[in-house]
Structure 1
């Protein structure tokens, strides 16, 4: 039996990706779509202004979009995927949670709250146990789970592999982030063509905090954040999709590039429909990964690494993931699959 799901903020860039991925999903059935009041009452075809390379799903196109409020979502919807702007998510997500809905959210609000699971299922599925803490403390019948920022999610799996094998002490990262991460109207063509922008508001802080929470240990009541010092510099470049990142990782134990590559290759995936069989692909070629060549690895859900070399205190490597698939919509769906597997739906 399919789980009936809804999408909050269904007309935006991530919302459209959610529709694209959910429509053929074996376990989920789209039963509700919401958007801003300006779009409410329109068909999804009209409201969404579909911009993806695949056709708009015909069975969704004529669905009427509702306002983003609990009364607009049928009671038999078991799971909501939220792709709302953070300011809107912060204002409206609690209302859905109080009504008993389970929400898998891509919105950045609340990611570092002590009682909110911030999860990459292959890395820290056990953090989902925070739901019980959350329900006790907030009195919600529902549950809120967050996936991390699209740039954070790119580097954390290889860092998790290094931390498990050698212990992390210090991380430095410089990102080369695609324009789709800013949304359709986030960066104008006059700004980004023939250019690179060495600032993305709030991005550095997200990478520096979210990564430490994701790599932390859950003791059954709280997450003890990882002690590694993380510093980030974030840059926007004129690629469409795929965030490429240069990472310097210092480790507590001695590590060679060969040992680091083996730890990444052997880092386990998880038995969920959207997770690749091999989570981290390590390229031997010195000029890989590249956004145009590697962003669609494993249907856009793989993590690509390469360029491994030894440093004074650890290793340097490059990593890449598709920012709107693995880094956003796909990450939320993966969390939804984990919620289903663990019995929260």
Structure 2
């Protein structure tokens, strides 16, 4: 089955990553790209300043960019991926869902809205059932589904693997790549020979999003997990790949061996972009490293290493590619799940 898909905001950094991931996809055929009014009407190769380390697919370069408006998107588009800035997306995405489109969005707006599924397919696929509540409450025929923040995506699959031990408290310190801020987000004078120990809004996302992701859907709402999370977020001079130091406290006794086994046995899915295994466990204490390990599993795996026992639980390091697993790849995987479960 071929599903026609489009990208909202396709000229930016995440939009370009969407294009790279959708090229040759076994289920999705990219037919539509939207951008700002300044880009609308131009061929994609003229509208986008391409920054991905592979060429623009020939057929994509020829696509005429459309305005980001439901009236300018063909009716035969079955699924839209959104990489719009959150301020724009907050206004635009509901217009598309009201028009009947299903939107799998990487934008940060509405992630914590009560009726919007926030999904990592291997962790909480059943949360898609919240779409029925969303449609009833908002009166639209489409659907809006979100993937979480890139740093949250790196950590939460590992926490889900540990939840059988009675997850109680988590402390995390992140070392986040500059690509997470977008191409113009961090200047070279700020980050070279430096670490910036604050990323605006990031710590709040890491504190709140895991509770929703690890929660349960009771048929009408998400009952949030009661885990307590504390986060310190730091920007470091790596290009791609968010590395995180995690301390997890559990109600039940947990050992290095039992934690590593839980990571290695984490649930994966039979979807085109789903990695197998979901979590790659390194015995070498100095792994994972961004430059060496961010592209494992085509950038969709979570890497874990440095597992150690602590008086209250376990400590470990985890890593994921922030613009693949943490952004465009996460939305594509959510799109595959939407198709698999019959929402598209």
Question: How far did residue 37 of structure 1 move?
Answer: 1.1
Counterpart position of 2:58: 58
Matches within 5 A, 1:223-262: 223-262=222-261
Q: CA–CA distance in 1 between the matches of 2:72 and 2:327?
A: 24
1:259-312 per-residue CA deviation (whole Å, 9 max, x = no partner) reads: 101011011101110001100011000000000000000000000001011111
Q: Which whole-Å deviations, capped at 9, do the CAs of 1:175-205 have from their partners, x for residues lacking one?
A: 0000000000000000000000001000000
Question: In 1, distance between residues paired with 2:248 and 2:211?
Answer: 13
Secondary structure of residue in 2 paired with 1:331: helix
| Alignment pair present for 1:177 and 2:152 | no
The normalised TM-score by structure 1 is 0.99
Question: What TM-score comes out, normalization by structure 2 length?
Answer: 0.99
Structure 2 portions without partners, runs of 5+: none
Question: Which residue is equivalent to 2:149?
Answer: 149
**In the aligned structure 1, how far is the partner of 2:122 from the partner of 2:246?**
20
Distance 2:203 2:78 in 1: 34
Partner of 2:194: 195
Separation (CA, whole Å) in 2 of partners of 1:317 and 1:53:
31
Alignment of 1:295-314 (within 5 A): 295-314=294-313
Partner of 1:5: 5
SS in 2 for 1:299: helix
Q: In 2, distance between residues paired with 1:252 and 1:204? A: 24
CA distance in 2, matches of 1:47, 1:177: 29
Report the Cα distance in structure 2 between the residues aligned to 1:162 and 1:133, rounded to whole angstroms.
30
> Is 1:37 equivalent to 2:37 in the alignment?
yes
**Where does residue 328 of structure 1 map in the other structure?**
327
Secondary structure at the counterpart of residue 32 of structure 2? strand
Stretches of 4+ aligned residues off by more than 6 angstroms: none
Q: Secondary structure at the match of 2:259?
A: helix
Which string of whole-angstrom CA distances, capped at 9 and with x for unpartnered residues, describes residues 22-70 of structure 1? 1210100111100011111111101111111111000010111111100
1:160 is matched with 160
Count residues in correspondence: 344
Give the secondary-structure state (helix, strand or coil) at the position aligned to 2:299.
coil
Partner secondary structure for residue 151 of structure 1? helix
